[in-house]
Structure 1
Amino acid sequence: MPNSICAFQFEQVREALEGADLVICVVSSFGVDWFAEEALPLLPEGVPVLNVTKGLLGYPDGSLETFPYFFARKRPDLAFASIGGPCSSYGL
């Protein structure tokens, strides 16, 4: 792995995101709210975010939303992309 790629603990999110050129969000669906509340506000405008989290958000009215659309509503100034397809979460 290149020296410029590092692993961090979630307590180090501020340090991990400092100067990032790209952010890859790989959290369980239970971590989506945490990512939206704690990580997204720290990103500078224009940083692309790649989402690798499977699943959908369900709302009380029965509507569904993908995670990239959920994130984009929180930060419309960022570019979001997602990896998906017919696979189990272990395949991602």
Structure 2
Amino acid sequence: MNLEWMAWTPVTAGFFTFIILLLIGMTIWEIASPCVARRGFLPLTTTRGDRLFIGLLGSAYIHLTWVGLTDFPLWIATVIAACFLVIMMRWG
């Protein structure tokens, strides 16, 4: 029986470590300072967790679109996605 395993490159491990640390940090932040739902530029009322989820999902779509439609280096998409995530968390 041949089992295929995911290749844990340093970049992959770093990505998942970042997501786990982000979730731990958000949990600690929520315990220390409970969130109040608010409206930003999004057309719905959101909490910190909602904006984080929307930001991460949008960042994934930015990367997928970048890989599918351009031949430019991926680090440029990462910078754009990081800016998108910051904007979503701050003003979303």
TM-score by length of 2: 0.26
TM-score (norm 1): 0.26
Higher helix proportion, which one?
Answer: 2
Flag the structure with higher strand content: 1
